Each structure stands twice: as structure tokens, then as C-alpha cells.
Amino acid sequence: MEMKIEVEDYNSEDGLTMSFTGGGTVKMTGTDNSFSIRGNRVGFEDLATALLTMAHNEGVAPSWCHIHVDEHPMLAEGSSSIVVQYLSDEQVKGKP
């Protein structure tokens, strides 16, 4: 199976932007020890687009750039809030 997903380039005037397909649903819930993501096909494609947009713009967009997935209609009622943002190599390794 081949899928084509178009991701936007970072723009200093608009920041990180992306369009959602619409009609997708994702429900995210979590506790201190676990996190669950459930959804339909379109919802997962929209979530993947958010993640790919971040990956595509790494090193181009400022490190503080992020996407608020919780501001889009794909999240089902009762979902936990989610923000997608970069981690520097130092942050991944646990350094400040």
C-alpha cells in the first residue's frame, strides 16, 4: 500500500501549519503510567500528518514550534490534550 501525505514547510509568518482531512476521530486518554490512542482511519492519518509535519520541519522551524492537536476537531470528546513538539538531542538523552 502506498499513501501520499502532503506536509507543509515552516513559514516564519504562519509558523507550522497543516490541514486536517476532516471526519477523522482520535481519542487519547492517559494516566501516570500509560497512554492510549484510539481512532478511525482518517483520524490516524491526520495524527500521522501532524507528526510528519514536525519531522519534516526539524532543523528548519525554531525549536519552540509545536502543533496543538487538541485545537482541531479530530479529538473525540473526553480526550486528553496533546501538543506535538521537538525534543533536542540533549533533551532525548535526559540533559537540560
Digit-coded pLDDT (tens) for 51-75: 888 888 888 888 888 887 766 667 7
Residue 54, in any domain of the structure: yes
Is residue 46 in some structural domain?
yes
Cell numbers for 81: 490534550
- What does the pLDDT look like over 76-94, one tens digit per residue? 888 887 788 877 777 777 7
pLDDT of 74 reads 73
| Size of the chain in residues | 96
Which residues form the domain of 53?
A: 26-92
Number of structural domains found in the chain: 1
Instruction: Write out the H or E segment, with its range, that includes residue 45.
Output: helix 41-56
Q: Tell me the CA distances in angstroms from 46 to 22, 79, 90, one per residue in order.
A: 8, 16, 29
pTM of the model: 0.76
Give domain status of residue 37, yes or no.
Answer: yes
Flag whether 76 is in a domain.
yes
Residue 58 lies in a domain: yes
The verdict on residue 7 lying in a domain is: no
Torsion of CA 13, 16, 19, 23, to 10 degrees: -140
Q: Are strands 83-85 and 66-68 parallel, antiparallel or unpaired?
A: antiparallel
